[in-house]
């Protein structure tokens, strides 16, 4: 498990270098450790290395790990695709949901958020490349969705999230990610106070930092490669 400790140290250093290079303060960027398919023991090892924010994609798997880790002061983020029948558990067991891309899901999260909990932090997932197969609201429909979600009680609209189409060239990655940054700026010019750009994964962390990311979601470079999942939840 010291491997995870070493890898987190390396990712933090990489994040720090990426910020330093463009004169950003690395304190502005939250490192979200993406622990999908990894064990509760892996999360515990990362927690011991002072990692506090964890991202999960699959609800059942996440709930099982949460149970095994009760009592640890972890901030749980949901970053996977959302079906309507999963919203209640999300509203009860997570502090953040990054993958909201339609109003119906947001309405359910708002209604089902437990009243004694603080507002659920929401990012709207944007389909930057207009890929038909991908989740995410297209940029043309983002303003209307943001407007409707921002009005819902028990939710706090924090910002935008994207998973751009894979590109190996850093400049091409950055150009794509800058479109998310511009979308956030346009919303803020209309009076929103959005503070979160959830973008940047193991393969495009530097480009994301250059494009203004405030939350990078790193899985592979912290926990190692993932083996394909068999179950489906
Ligand atoms: C798996 C996943 C990540 C982490 O990707 P890595 O390439 O392993 O760092 C980030 N964001 C989302 C939405 C994911 O599903």
Domain limits, the chain: 2-223
pLDDT single digits (tens) 158-184? 999 999 988 889 899 999 999 999 999
pLDDT single digits (tens) 205-214? 999 999 999 9
Place of tokens 């999908």: 36
Which CATH number is 2-223 given? Answer: 3.20.20.10
pLDDT single digits (tens) 58-81? 999 999 999 999 999 999 999 999
Render the burial of 32-54: b for 16+ CB within 10 Å, e for the rest: bbbbbbbebebbbbbbebebebb
Which atom belonging to ligand 1 lies closest to the Cα atom of 98? 13
Q: Is 99 in the pocket of ligand 1 (CB under 6 A)?
A: no
Of 14, 77, 79, best ligand 1 pocket probe by most atoms within 8 Å of the beta carbon: 79
At 18, give phi and psi (nearest 5°): -60, -40
Render the burial of 218-229: b for 16+ CB within 10 Å, e for the rest: bbebbbeeeeee
């Amino acid at each position: 498990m010291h491997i995870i400790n070493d890898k987190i140290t390396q990712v933090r250093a990489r994040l720090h270098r990426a910020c330093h290079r463009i004169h950003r303060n690395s304190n502005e960027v939250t490192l979200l450790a993406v622990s999908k398919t990894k064990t509760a023991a892996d999360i515990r090892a990362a927690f011991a290395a002072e990692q506090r924010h964890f991202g999960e994609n699959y609800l059942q798997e996440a709930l099982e790990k949460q149970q095994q880790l009760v009592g640890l002061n972890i901030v749980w983020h949901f970053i996977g695709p959302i079906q309507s029948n999963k919203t209640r558990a999300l509203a009860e067991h997570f502090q953040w949901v990054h993958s909201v891309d339609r109003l119906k899901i947001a309405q359910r999260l708002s209604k089902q958020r437990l009243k004694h909990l603080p507002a659920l932090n929401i990012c709207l997932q944007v389909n930057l490349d207009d890929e038909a197969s991908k989740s995410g609201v297209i940029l043309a429909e983002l303003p209307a969705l943001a407007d409707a979600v921002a009005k819902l009680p028990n939710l706090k609209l924090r910002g935008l999230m994207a998973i751009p189409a894979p590109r190996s060239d850093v400049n091409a990655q950055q150009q794509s990610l800058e479109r998310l940054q511009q979308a956030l700026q346009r919303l803020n010019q209309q009076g929103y106070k959005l503070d979160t750009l959830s973008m940047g994964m193991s393969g495009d962390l530097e480009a994301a930092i250059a494009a203004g990311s405030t939350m990078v979601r790193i899985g592979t470079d912290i926990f190692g490669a993932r083996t394909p999942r068999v179950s489906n939840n």
